[in-house]
Amino acid sequence: MAEALKDRSMLLQKEMLARHFERLARAPETGEPVVYTFVPGNLTELIRSFDALPVLPEINALQSGMRKLSGDYIAEAERAGHSEDVCTYVKCDIGMMRSGNLGPGGLKLPKPDLLLLSYTGCYTFMKWFELLREEYDCPTVMFHVPYQGDGVLEPEHRSYMLRQLREQVIPALEKATGRKYDEDKLRHHLALSAKAEDDLVAVLQAGKNRPSPIDGYFGTVYYVGPIFSAFRGTEEGVEYYRTLRAEVEERAALGLGPITPDGPLEGERYRLVVEGPPNWTSFRDFWKMFSDEKAVVVASTYTKVGGTYDFGFRHDPSDPLGTLADYCSGCYTNLNLPSRIDMICRYIEEYQADGFLINSVKSCNSFSAGQLMILREVEKRTGIPGAFIESDLVDPRYFSAANIKNRLESYFQMIDARRLGKTA
């Protein structure tokens, strides 16, 4: 199979990640502290202010899926007693750890000096870190983010988070790293985050163009990688998003479509909004099912799990701890179902989508719970029928290419029929 084509920003990101994992591999010798944390609601700027290196288990799991290693890792975890119904990210991570704990570059990941759990609506995260705490026998601190059950962050919720940051999270980081909290240093990292976030939003909103110069799902999972993981609040992250924005704006000015695995897409035919994570084990094949039909995802909800920047949020260095609380509260997994429905409907309207699709992931309750209700409500409010497909995150046993392809082809035929009906 020919290698998938990549745009310039993807190559730059690959270099950034390689350097990061090389640095992690050397951490036991250099003495750099290592903090494991999760993507939704991660406190990367705070971690970086202690000169610590972040490791994100979900990123390791999804990259294992893309490298076709997750099936063996999951089998290893199931042999160790983990249920078939457990989140496959968890089993992939546990299996990877038991198989040598080699990161995406083939280098061994260091043990954590601290497990920092930002809890933003996914109960599995709590159990996941309990398992990692048993395996690594290291300190753990939990930052509990109240769920936005009524769709807003109440003042008492914010105060509760600020108290946790001051009284629990920061002392745990000080103890794990041997460094004192430096608020000016945190402000510096937050200012860098805000710069990168401005450029990311410009990229995301480029999907409003016709044709869209980006794919807001398959392509954008690459685009959000640095800001959702280890590079938010860094000079590298700022440079990456500056480069990405220039690249996307150039394509938009030239009237070009997004870069797909087979090259630039010409002749955009369908514009879609997608809810739910992608499948990583067959990522390229999954993407090609869309690009072969000239279907472009102009916006997606999954690319907001690490921050809803396109709805106005920016990290604010003038209020260091408060802005961290606001950020964590607004991540997609912490939003209630009415808020998620509002987001999808707004995307359909503002990005002039022809349809919307839900990819229901078998082992991810944070996304799959309530998706049928979301489907019905979005159809009712927009008048556009949706599509529903099923797969999994990183378990290759739950990706049926023929089934998904048939459903997609039927859905695109439905869109065509509706167009003919409107023009008749």
Q: How confident is the model at residue 423 (pLDDT cuts 50, 70, 90)?
A: low
pLDDT: which is higher, 12 or 257: 257
What is the rounded CA–CA span in Å between residue 273 and residue 261?
20
Q: How confident is the model at residue 6 (pLDDT cuts 50, 70, 90)?
A: low
- On whether residue 8 sits in a domain, the answer given is no
Span 79-91, average pLDDT: 90
373: amino acid identity, one letter: M
Q: What is the pLDDT of residues 326-365, one digit of tens each?
A: 999 999 989 999 999 999 999 999 999 999 999 998 788 7
What pLDDT score does 120 carry? 82
- On whether residue 112 sits in a domain, the answer given is yes
What is the rounded CA–CA span in Å between residue 130 and residue 319?
32
How confident is the prediction for the chain on average, in pLDDT? 93
The two beta strands, 114-119 and 34-36, are: parallel
Lowest mean pLDDT among 97-106, 226-235, 237-246, 258-267: 97-106
pLDDT for residue 84 is more than 90 = no
**Angle CA 355–149–332, to nearest 5:** 45
Query: Of the candidates 195, 304, 194, 203, which has an alpha carbon nearest to the alpha carbon of residue 249?
Result: 203
- Please give the tally of structural domains in the chain: 1
- On whether residue 153 sits in a domain, the answer given is yes
Residue-range definition of the domain harbouring residue 85:
32-184
Span 20-27, average pLDDT: 96
What is the rounded CA–CA span in Å between residue 376 and residue 72?
37
What is the rounded CA–CA span in Å between residue 255 and residue 47?
41
Span 398-411, average pLDDT: 95
Contact of 119 with 125, CB cutoff 8 Å:
yes
What pLDDT score does 342 carry? 97
- On whether residue 364 sits in a domain, the answer given is no
- 114-119 sheet: strands from edge to edge: 53-55, 34-36, 114-119, 140-144
Q: How confident is the model at residue 209 (pLDDT cuts 50, 70, 90)?
A: very high
What pLDDT score does 184 carry? 98
Q: How confident is the model at residue 246 (pLDDT cuts 50, 70, 90)?
A: very high
What pLDDT score does 126 carry? 85
- On whether residue 204 sits in a domain, the answer given is no
- On whether residue 318 sits in a domain, the answer given is no
| pLDDT cut 70: percent of the chain above it | 98
What pLDDT score does 424 carry? 44
- On whether residue 49 sits in a domain, the answer given is yes
pLDDT for residue 4 is more than 80 = no
Retrieve residue 224's tokens. 């959000």
What pLDDT score does 7 carry? 67
Span 134-138, average pLDDT: 91
- On whether residue 37 sits in a domain, the answer given is yes
pLDDT for residue 8 is more than 90 = no
Instruction: Return the bridge partners of 54, or none.
Output: 35
- Terminal-to-terminal C-alpha distance of the chain: 43
If one counts every other C-beta atom within 10 angstroms of the C-beta of residue 125, the result is 26
Our CA dihedral for 406, 412, 416, 421, rounded to 10 degrees, sits at: 90
The DSSP annotation for 353-411 comes to -SEEEEEEETT-HHHHTTHHHHHHHHHHHH---EEEEEE-SS-GGG--HHHHHHHHHHH
- What CATH number should be reported for the domain holding residue 97? 3.40.50.11890
Span 131-142, average pLDDT: 92
What is the rounded CA–CA span in Å between residue 424 and residue 421?
5
pLDDT for residue 386 is more than 80 = yes
- CA distances 34 to 18, 80, 167, 368, Å, are 17, 26, 21, 32
Contact of 328 with 161, CB cutoff 8 Å:
yes
